[in-house]
A and B are shown apart, each in its own frame.
Chain A
Amino acid sequence: MKDLWIRHFRHALKDMRSHRFLHGITWITIVLSIILSGTFTLFASNAADVISSWRAGVRILAYLEEGHTEQDRLRIHNILKENNLISDVRFISKTEALESLRSRMQRHSAVFQNLPENPLPDAFELRVRVEGNSWDTVEEVALYVEKIKNIEDVEYGGQWVGRFLKVIAMLRLAALGMGSLFFLISVFIVANTIRLAFYSRKEEVEIMRLVGAEEGFIKAPFYIQGLILGFSGGLGGMLILFLTYITLTFRMDATFTALAFDFSFLPLHTVAVMVGVSTLIGWMGAYLSFRQEVVE
């Protein structure tokens, strides 16, 4: 059993070597498909993280005017609490805000070292439930809060966040569309390559049939070629994507930290799924190449 697979593997590698140009191009096609679909998935997956954090409630910061009284604060707190669109209200004093900023930006702690006074204002942190993908509630609440006396300013994601949701939806659709397109293209290219490798062994295949070799025995090396192409292509694509991610995020680390935005790589199970899908591409390519074989 083991010896048989070693034999099939050897034959597969021999074929790949003798058709190295075609197999190379096919491999590159798979790698590119994986990189492109992977990139889309990467953005979609990070966007999904952001969205799921919004589902818990969008954060609005309402800054208080300089020189407000304790009473003002209580009054505002009550107004906010009474609003049933607001799910959570928390007061963040200027001292607390500075501490949290310091801990987030430890790298740049020198900047905060000898501040003459705390430049940050007191604030209320509110959470607004987002129903579906609608951003309207958030805007409504923000406008309402802004009009309350002693509120200096309201800060929230801003309009771009609302658009962001639409962009995400489109991104996801694009990811799905592109993914499917690349999937099909890759399958066809693999099928074509394997059909060519198979046809270059046509005579040999015919002889094998005449001496009583089973179809599985004859075709196994070609399936192995497909699986090798798919698996290594998937792995290669993911590796390149990861290295690109590392290089880019390392450079932009400071920017991301400043934005308090965590741009993470694809989770391991997604990587596994993508390599798995790529392997499936190889298998399907081989399968398709035999489907199209003319029946004699």
Chain B
Amino acid sequence: MTDPSKNMIVRMFDVYKAYGKTSAIKGVSLEVASGDIVFITGPSGAGKSTLLKLIYKAEVATQGQIIVDGMNLSRIGSRQLPELRRRLGVIFQDFKLIAGRSVFDNVALVLEAAGEKPKIIEKKVMSVLRTAGIEEKARVFPPSLSGGEQQRVAVSRAVVGSPRLILADEPTASLDPDSAEQIMQLLETFHARGATLVIATHNRRIISRLKGREIRLERGCVKTQEISSDHEVEENQ
């Protein structure tokens, strides 16, 4: 299992999530240590997206405890929700960029919401866009960008606030292999700068490329938790 001396940034205890009659998550317990790279894998419909949504509280667990960066999600009200979200960077499967705002404004939004000064916003946004290689697209509107470029904007937005935890839901699913490779490099860069990564994916290439731990979901249950793809640990249900 994970090293207990490490600081846990995500902990789940026996978590259930049902959408009406459909059970998407059934008794999941897991821990993510600070600085880890964790892949959530499994077939379509296994509950990967739901698991991530539970972490940034877009969905509320039906049962069980979730603690993210010291915040017990069942205890926080709508008032503390923005605080939680600002501590995380989320890369959504469908990008979720605002079509009517420039790339710069999309990324800047996070810092504006956090009450940063315009000068600092300008500096941080341009710096992150430079890292993502889309500096020259700052004034462009998202709909005129390619899928790969849009995803780089989405990554930029997720990391611009220097979150300790980055959640990514199939960040390469809709991309060609080259773009996927660039996105992974980008995520690697931010991991190297200290962020914890939790990535839902079924792209084997990505998993083998980044050294990380794999948590495999099947029909809402944790099937295996393996560390760097050769050491398997059976999960007690």
Q: Name A residues whose Cβ lies closer than 8 Å to a Cβ of B.
A: 3-4, 7, 203-204, 206-215, 217
**Chain B residues with Cβ under 8 A from A214's Cβ?**
82, 113
- Cβ of A4 and Cβ of B115 under 8 Å apart? yes
Alpha-carbon distance A210/B117, docked complex (angstroms):
21
Q: Smallest CB-CB separation from A200: which chain B residue?
A: B100
What distance in Å separates the Cβ of B156 from its nearest Cβ neighbour in chain A? 12
**Chain A residues with Cβ under 8 A from B87's Cβ?**
212
Alpha-carbon distance A4/B92, docked complex (angstroms):
27
Q: Smallest CB-CB separation from B78: which chain A residue?
A: A215
29 residue pairs of the A-B complex, CB under 8 angstroms, read A4-B112, A203-B98, A204-B98, A204-B101, A206-B96, A207-B96, A207-B97, A207-B98, A208-B109, A209-B85, A210-B56, A210-B58, A210-B85, A210-B90, A210-B92, A210-B96, A211-B86, A211-B109, A212-B83, A212-B84, A212-B85, A212-B86, A212-B110, A212-B114, A213-B82, A213-B109, A215-B78, A215-B82, A217-B113
> For the complex, is B157 an interface residue (Cβ under 8 Å from A)?
yes
0/1 string, B74-88, CB within 8 A of A gives 1: 000010011111111
- Cβ of B85 and Cβ of A3 under 8 Å apart? no
**Chain A residues with Cβ under 8 A from B70's Cβ?**
none
What distance in Å separates the Cβ of A275 from its nearest Cβ neighbour in chain B? 32
**Chain B residues with Cβ under 8 A from A212's Cβ?**
82-88, 110, 113-114, 161
Alpha-carbon distance A212/B112, docked complex (angstroms):
10
Q: A-B pairs with the 7 shortest C-beta distances?
A: A212-B85, A212-B86, A213-B113, A212-B82, A211-B110, A214-B82, A204-B98
- Cβ of B100 and Cβ of A211 under 8 Å apart? no
- Cβ of A208 and Cβ of B113 under 8 Å apart? yes
**Chain A residues with Cβ under 8 A from B92's Cβ?**
210
> For the complex, is B45 an interface residue (Cβ under 8 Å from A)?
no
**Chain A residues with Cβ under 8 A from B56's Cβ?**
210
- Cβ of B85 and Cβ of A204 under 8 Å apart? no
What distance in Å separates the Cβ of A272 from its nearest Cβ neighbour in chain B? 34
Alpha-carbon distance A206/B97, docked complex (angstroms):
11
**Chain B residues with Cβ under 8 A from A4's Cβ?**
112, 115
In the complex, besides A204-B100, A215-B82, 5 extra interface pairs with C-beta distance below 8 angstroms are A211-B109, A212-B83, A212-B84, A212-B85, A212-B114
Q: Smallest CB-CB separation from B96: which chain A residue?
A: A207
Q: Smallest CB-CB separation from B90: which chain A residue?
A: A210
- Cβ of B98 and Cβ of A7 under 8 Å apart? no
> For the complex, is B118 an interface residue (Cβ under 8 Å from A)?
yes
Alpha-carbon distance A214/B110, docked complex (angstroms):
11
Alpha-carbon distance A18/B85, docked complex (angstroms):
30
Alpha-carbon distance A241/B142, docked complex (angstroms):
48
**Chain B residues with Cβ under 8 A from A3's Cβ?**
117-118
- Kindly identify which residue among A7, A209, A211 contacts B157, using a CB–CB cutoff of 8 Å: A211
What distance in Å separates the Cβ of A296 from its nearest Cβ neighbour in chain B? 10
Alpha-carbon distance A213/B58, docked complex (angstroms):
14
Q: Smallest CB-CB separation from B83: which chain A residue?
A: A212
What distance in Å separates the Cβ of A156 from its nearest Cβ neighbour in chain B? 68
**Chain A residues with Cβ under 8 A from B96's Cβ?**
206-207, 210
**Chain B residues with Cβ under 8 A from A213's Cβ?**
82, 109, 112-113
What distance in Å separates the Cβ of B193 from its nearest Cβ neighbour in chain A? 19
Alpha-carbon distance A3/B117, docked complex (angstroms):
8
**Chain A residues with Cβ under 8 A from B83's Cβ?**
212
Alpha-carbon distance A110/B110, docked complex (angstroms):
78
What distance in Å separates the Cβ of A289 from its nearest Cβ neighbour in chain B? 18
**Chain B residues with Cβ under 8 A from A215's Cβ?**
78, 82
Alpha-carbon distance A7/B121, docked complex (angstroms):
13
Alpha-carbon distance A213/B112, docked complex (angstroms):
8
Q: Smallest CB-CB separation from A213: which chain B residue?
A: B113
**Chain A residues with Cβ under 8 A from B157's Cβ?**
211
- Cβ of A211 and Cβ of B98 under 8 Å apart? no
The B97-127 residues at the A interface (CB cut-off 8 A) are: 97-98, 100-101, 109-110, 112-115, 117-118
**Chain B residues with Cβ under 8 A from A206's Cβ?**
96
Alpha-carbon distance A212/B83, docked complex (angstroms):
6
**Could you say which of A204, A208, A211 has the most chain B C-beta atoms within 10 Å of its C-beta?**
A211
Alpha-carbon distance A217/B101, docked complex (angstroms):
17
0/1 string, B116-145, CB within 8 A of A gives 1: 011000000000000000000000000000
What distance in Å separates the Cβ of B102 from its nearest Cβ neighbour in chain A? 13
Q: Smallest CB-CB separation from B163: which chain A residue?
A: A212
**Chain A residues with Cβ under 8 A from B85's Cβ?**
209-212
